[in-house]
Amino acid sequence: MSVSQAVVAHLPYLRRYARALTGSQMAGDAYVRATLEAALSDRDVLDQIGQGRVALYSAFNKIWSASGGSLPGRADMSEGALATAEERLAAITPASRQALLLTTIEDFSPAEAAEIMQISETEAQQLVLGALEEIDAESSTDVLIIEDEALISMQLEELVEGLGHTVSGTATTRDEARAIVATRKPGLVLADIQLADGSSGIDAVNDILSEFSVPVIFITAYPEKLLTGDRPEPTYLVTKPFLESAVKAAISQAMFFRSTAAIA
């Protein structure tokens, strides 16, 4: 496989990681673009990222670390949302969030996460534990679950309540989601893409986001329908079948930035 083929294969997932780390498609893509630009201008970096997924994420980490984990200017966030994110960045360790995302949503081993972050495996494991403690300390909110598979819906309910949040309602269709939101606005939405009556979880989410801003996490067996690169994409995306730790990590990040742009 050529360098370009290797990068293309892993790029959608690096972009997913970058968006989750920064809380924004625009900011995440800016870091990914900077990584690719560095590769084009430095043959050593180009050769490195062609060595596999760990190497590509390692190159990205150098760009992220060099920036200090600060947020660049972001046209897709309001001034208020950006200020909130900056305040929360000052309070929560970026390295802990990074280690958790790498080992849950991106499914790297602790050893691989350590290699990417250029730290020891023990340090990586300690950072993950620290991130989980930060999740437990998050303020509670009302969560709307849009999911048509009963067992998965129940699993998500238990997970959400275990984190100290309250389930404001569960919807299996777009219309049900509308009805629930009309009576009780959620502080977080967990949504599938394909719903029971053939309606779209994407449309249900955009209905909600047209009314008010709320963090949204898509949990789907069809991530390729959202990781297309040809339109705005969701910031938080977990693939089914999922690990509960991955959903917890996504919830932590979503509550951290507390805003999600519409995806259509």
pTM of the model: 0.59
Domain 1-73: which topology? Rna Polymerase Sigma Factor; Chain: A (1.10.1740)
1-73 and 140-257 share one CATH topology? no
- CA neighbours within 13 Å on the CB side: how many for 227? 23
Return the pLDDT at 217. 92
Domain 140-257: which topology? Rossmann fold (3.40.50)
Return the pLDDT at 63. 85
pLDDT by residue for the chain (264 residues), tens only, comes to: 577 777 788 888 898 898 888 877 888 888 999 988 888 887 777 777 777 889 899 989 888 888 765 544 444 444 444 444 444 444 446 788 889 889 887 889 999 999 999 999 999 999 988 877 776 665 689 999 999 999 999 999 999 999 889 999 999 999 999 999 999 999 999 999 989 888 889 899 999 999 988 889 999 887 777 765 555 556 688 988 888 888 988 887 787 666 444 443
User: CA separation (Å) from 18 to 147, 153, 196?
Assistant: 26, 27, 32
Return the pLDDT at 261. 45
Domain ranges of the chain: 1-73, 140-257
Task: Return the axis-axis angle of helices 121-136 and 244-257, rounded to nearest 10°.
Answer: 60
